[in-house]
Structure 1
């Protein structure tokens, strides 16, 4: 019996050892790659706290910011400086910038002060910074974060792109470069006074073909040359300020910039159609304008009333201009902001009727009809969501467990982080990465994929690096791609940008 017991113990020990060996073979230890070490460094930074996490993510390559309104990206301090340079006035009652001619007096007039006064009056300066942004804002009865956010734009709009668009491009690209960003798709609204006047004169016509023909016959395209010239001058001024043609070029020169034509949807349908048509025409002839977007508060009266009509406009124009990309603000709504019926269809309409390849915000997706079906549809058709965490918080009060980001990730809907209006919100893209990591416990690899998504789903021209066979079998981001791969990268703006991102990730991860 004692021998039998000893034999049974020996057999059991051998079996355990064998099982352990099989288990070790079946589940190998994680390789000590640069990415794995960086993942561990990220976890360590997270455990150390927000400051360490911010330092880590500030240096991390982020690809691009695909949802950024140019005017909203400029900080309040810049508006004040530019208003002073332009000799503008401030309406003291509303803290709004006005032109001297608008004020009706050579020295600003009653109830107004020169904007330049703020440069020597700290209280006045602080008042304007607070008025032009969300700084120091505290909601009060009848005045929400939503109100403050959207009202800010009207307060600084007297500073015009004709004088300062180059300054704005310098500011936002310099900030992007400091955070290891390489690409910006900036939403902007070039002047469209002629199109607006044509819309007013011709009025609304339900026949899209007829309305388009009349607008074109009456010279709608006349705005295009002026818009192209404005952008050319602004980009040249940005290059001048950053010394891009010299031997001491700023690092910001490496930040690529493309533009999305902003259509103001909170207007009468004839004006929305005219401006949308102008945007499609402009994007068809000027490759610097890579797409169209609809902006202004989605909960506004006309935005809500005409939402389906506006999607039909896009459907019509998309068929005529199929190469023009479309990204749409959709689902920037929350319960109580609009009637519940208004939460049920905006994202689906944008995708299925408006031909949106990207959705901005998408906050109310779980309130849509058949939300799980919609999420799966977006995943299947690779419709990316531009996630703006701070914006959703300050405008809609939606954050943390109430935010749908985890639902999008669960359904494999591609997402990327973006800033929306970093100047008004007084944030930057690093802030959004930190917030995503803290609020949703996202890991390094998830954030890395979001950065990749920002270029994969950008509207840069050319085939994606990840769908072409030209560079298969090579190490993405290497210094010396093979000849065929090198030729492909030279032919595709998108793939070239993606290769550069991988190069930056290689350097970032090797440092850990």
Structure 2
């Protein structure tokens, strides 16, 4: 990478630039090698849609699994530290002794990530199934992962990451509350928000009595704050904050318990930037309980009005779900849940009253987190099928992000290369605006930190643009 940057600078010097960065980008936007060198060096602000586990490349995870001699399931290619009672499992050391390690290494790389993807399985299945296959190699190694991400961010001129690091561990016994599952789903089926909110109020009081605050405090102090401080994550080159998240596939009581604790955690720590909800949006429970989940966010916001949250909404496309299910997810995320940002938003063109929805997002400064590589791989949505231009036409604030760069074998630079190549009317000034959006619309709680990042971004752009004025 150093050699590429050096050659790029020599090239600039040789042609004796009297032109601006904007005019240069117009010349090279269709040449991926030249635009990659350009965007690699361009300051890229923050990555706001970022999953920690999906952003770690497969190589270090596999190296760790081999070094710690994990068990490998020879059919699914999942790894575990201890051998289950059922299934065809073998240690990596035994595979090595049998001369089979290299073969399985190749298979694992193609199963844990999009490397050499050939369409043998649906891309969305490969993506979402990969997490459980490699997750045991992440457990207990968050420090190594955070340092890997920081190093990579600095190398490609990314100042800030807002990552979804880990769910909050919680062994709270809620077996006495399981009746709420059916009650909440019954009320949800009737879209009876008044009854749902009343049930959530009862549930919230019970969860509070079970010392929910203790779990949030332990997570904030003994996990987030300790890691962040011990690793010296923040410095003059890089800053990181964290999003709590809950899993869509859980039953309502468990999900609401976790959501409550996530909001308490975010409310009590400046390192926790906000809250999110994850897992495949098109899965059975995700679809069935989606409206209910949005009401849960609305309820938690009423208890913790200062906590920000971004929601994965509209990560859907025609064919993945029934047409009628493309019409309401972003609407509900904004109008019911009150999301501060929207992640993906791919089905916006199908949403009911989409023009009014887009105008509302623009008027209320609700940004859309655009993930070009992710949307292409998982949903097969790209170029003019992608709603990027629709958001742009309605002046919805746009931020560019990676989603899961490790699984997708991508980085932030590639997102901008694709943006410039696919959308020819997006000039340098507009791209620069998106970069600033990624700091201005971040959920950083400390305004002094945000102001310092903007100041740093100003200086970096000044240095970058000076290269084109020699």
Normalising by the residue count of structure 1, what TM-score does the alignment of the two structures yield? 0.80
Between Structure 1 and Structure 2, whose CA radius of gyration is higher?
Answer: 1
3-state secondary structure, aligned to 1:136: coil
Asked if 1 retains the 8 angstrom alpha-carbon contact of 2:75 and 2:88, the reply is no
Give the direction of change, closer, same or farther, for the CA distance of 1:403–1:183 in structure 2 (3 Å limit). Answer: same
Name the CA distance, whole Å, in 1 between partners of 2:333 and 2:163.
20
Q: After superposing the two structures, state which structure 1 stretch, 79-88 or 496-505, moved more.
A: 79-88
Secondary structure in structure 2 of the residue aligned to 1:324: coil
Aligned 8 A contact 1:259 1:289 in 2: yes
- From 40, 44, 53, the equivalent of 2:27 is 44
- After superposition, where does 1:313-332 map in structure 2 within 5 Å? 313-332=296-315
Give the SS at the match of 1:103: coil
In structure 2, distance between residues paired with 1:503 and 1:35: 21
DSSP 3-state at the match of 2:141: helix
Is the alpha carbon distance of 1:462 and 1:166 closer, same or farther for their aligned partners in structure 2, counting shifts above 3 Å? closer
User: Residues 28-67 of structure 1: CA distance to partner in whole angstroms, max 9, x if unpaired?
Assistant: xxxxxx99611112223325x1101100000000000000
8 Å Cα contact 2:73-2:88 kept in structure 1: no
1:399 aligned residue: 382
Name the SS for the 1:277 alignment partner.
helix
Give the structure 2 partner of residue 468 of structure 1. Answer: none
Task: State the alpha-carbon separation in 2 of the partners of residues 92 and 460 from structure 1.
Answer: 44
CA root-mean-square deviation: 2.2
TM-score, scaled to structure 2: 0.87
Equivalent positions of 1:205-354 (< 5 A) are 205=180, 206=184, 207-228=199-220, 229-236=222-229, 238-239=231-232, 254-354=237-337
1:456 and 1:72 mapped to 2: Cα distance?
Answer: 25
Q: How far apart are the structure 2 equivalents of 1:175 and 1:395? A: 24
1:398, 1:115 → 2: CA distance? 41
CA deviation map 1:438-464 (0-9, x unaligned):
11122211211110100010011255x
Distance 1:116 1:211, change over 3 A: farther
Contact 2:128 2:280 in 1 (8 A): yes
Cross-structure match for 2:132: 154
Partner of 2:122: 144
- Is 1:509 equivalent to 2:435 in the alignment? no
- The equivalent of 2:10 in structure 1 is none
1:192 is aligned to 169
Q: Name 2:150's counterpart in structure 1.
A: 173
Q: Is the 8 A contact 1:264 1:295 kept in 2?
A: yes
Taking the aligned partners of 1:408 and 1:116, their CA distance within structure 2 comes to 53
Native 8 Å contact 1:80 1:115 kept in 2 = no
State the Cα distance separating 1:137 from its structure 2 match: 1.9
- How far the C-alpha of 1:253 sits from its partner, in A, is 6.6
Distance 1:36 1:345, change over 3 A: farther
Q: How far off its partner does 1:194 sit?
A: 1.3
What is the CA distance between 1:236 and its match in structure 2?
A: 4.4
Could you tell me how far apart the structure 1 residues matched to 2:65 and 2:36 are? 33
1:9-32 Cα distance to aligned partner (Å, 9 max, x none): xxxxxxxxxxxxxxxxxxxxxxxx
Matched residue, 2:4: none
Aligned to 1:478: none
Q: CA deviation at 1:234?
A: 2.7
Residue range with higher mean Cα deviation, 454-463 or 322-331: 454-463
Structure 1 unmatched runs, 5+ = 1-33, 245-251, 464-491
Encode CA deviations 1:84-107: one digit per residue, 9 max, x unaligned.
34332111111001122x4359xx
- Contact 1:92-1:113 within 8 A present in 2 as well: no
Q: Is 1:57 matched with 2:39?
A: yes
Distance 1:254 1:96, change over 3 A: same
Residue 6 (structure 1) aligns with: none
Post-superposition offset of 1:139: 2.0
Q: CA deviation at 1:193?
A: 3.4
Cα distance between partner residues in 2 of 1:111 and 1:86 = 15
* Residue aligned with 1:193, SS: coil
2:103 to 115, 123, 127: 123
User: Counterpart of 1:284 in 2: which secondary structure?
Assistant: helix
C-alpha distance 505-213 of structure 1, shift in aligned 2 (>3 A): same
If asked which structure has higher relative contact order (CA below 8 Å, sep 6+), I would say: 2
> Which residue of the partner structure matches residue 450 of structure 1?
434
CA distance in 2, matches of 1:423, 1:151: 14
Segments of 5+ residues of structure 2 without an aligned counterpart are: 1-16, 185-198
User: Does structure 2 retain, via aligned residues, the 8 Å contact 1:91–1:97?
Assistant: yes
* Cα offset, 1:503, TM superposition: 1.1
Deviation at 1:510, TM superposition (A): 1.0
Q: Deviations over 1:94-134 (max 9, x none)?
A: 1001122x4359xxx95322279579832221111111101
Query: How many aligned positions are there?
Result: 431
Aligned to 1:89: 71
**Off by >6 Å, runs of 4+ in structure 1:** none
1:159 Cα deviation after fit? 2.3
SS in 2 for 1:262: strand
